Amino acid sequence: MKKSLLLFVICMTIHISYGQKIENSIFWEVSGNGLTTPSYIYGTIKFIPAKDYFLSKNVKSKLKESKIFATETLLDHHSLHELNKAAHLPHHQSIKDLLPEEEYDRLKNLFTKFLNVSTLKFDMVYSQFKPVVLSTTMTRLSLGKNVRYYEIELANMAKKSGLVTIGLETASREIAAMESFDEKSQIKALSHTIANFDQQLADYSALIEAYKVGDLHKTLEYTLHPSENDESFRKTFFDKRNAEWIPNIEKYMKQSTSFFALGAAHLADEQGVINLLRERGYTVKPYPLK
């Protein structure tokens, strides 16, 4: 009896370990459920240090073989203008109006002393950003100039290959999701960033390492840290949008071979795009990067 129980535990451990291993991927093939050709999903992050940037031959090859290239929001001038506008506080407000004086001074010091931003640029540009945008911007600036952007790189490749380029949602939909993170919660999260910026940078490094090995759960976990792991924000910004994208993803896959470049955090866990497609009857499996 003891030997049987021990064997069961060993088998379950092997099964769980194997399951976790094959689920660690940022590149996926979608097939079955009536599709005449497979489509592909590539998990991205907004920016990454140039030294950590990678894009395998398999990814480039499958992108070139595709007919449709889709991102979360179409990367055109209108969308970028709308997103940039939404990143700013309304009515020419300043972050100074929202933070206690001591906290504001600490924030400004981080920008001017640690991130090498001039006082003028901080006052004219960064001080007008919304709190949640400031947190991400601080991490981005800490990396200096040697940064790569996956969406831009992939979009340029898709354009050169003549793919039809589309977005799964409008810029206004993404903005509405971002604005669901209320101002009070944003300020609380920014205050935590100001007080623990070293930890935020350590978390970002951990996010990069998780992304490089395809650990989608960890990637989502660390992506949520700047929002203080706000559960309401996760449901609105990630879970709800993931579900809204599925009908469009299905529509494009049925039309032709499609390549979807989506934030890796949107692929993770039960409410992620990978599992939602599986629930719809598709075969979704990791595709080799090398």
Contact predicate 83/169, CB 8 Å: no
Report pLDDT for 166.
96
- Residue 179 CB: number of other CB atoms within 10 A? 15
What distance in Å separates the CA atoms of residue 63 and residue 41, rounded to the nearest whole number? 10
Residue pair 237/223 in contact (Cβ under 8 Å)? The answer is no
Predicted pLDDT at 255: 97
Q: Measured between alpha carbons, how far is 153 from 144 in angstroms, rounded to an integer? A: 19
Given a contact cutoff of 8 angstroms between Cβ atoms, the answer to whether 48 and 145 are in contact is: no
C-alpha 69/C-alpha 272 separation (Å) is: 20
28-216-193 Cα angle (round to 5): 140
User: Residue-wise pLDDT tens for the chain (290 aa)?
Assistant: 433 333 333 333 333 333 333 378 999 999 999 999 999 999 999 999 999 999 999 999 999 999 999 999 988 888 888 988 999 999 889 999 999 999 999 999 999 999 999 999 999 999 999 998 999 999 999 999 999 999 999 999 999 999 999 999 999 999 888 888 888 889 998 999 999 999 999 999 999 999 999 999 999 988 887 666 678 888 999 999 999 999 999 999 999 999 999 999 999 999 999 999 999 999 999 999 87
At 37, give phi and psi (nearest 5°).
-140, 150
Beta bridge partners of residue 81, listed in sequence order: none
Alpha helices of 114-196 — where are they, by DSSP H? Answer: 119-124, 131-142, 150-160, 171-179, 183-195
Cβ neighbours of residue 72 under 8 Å, at least 6 residues apart? 167, 168, 169, 174, 241, 245, 262, 263, 266
Q: Where are the domains of the chain?
A: 23-87+146-181+231-286
Query: Mapping DSSP to helix (H, G, I), strand (E, B) and coil, where does residue 80 land?
Result: helix
pTM for this prediction? 0.88
Res 228: pLDDT: 65
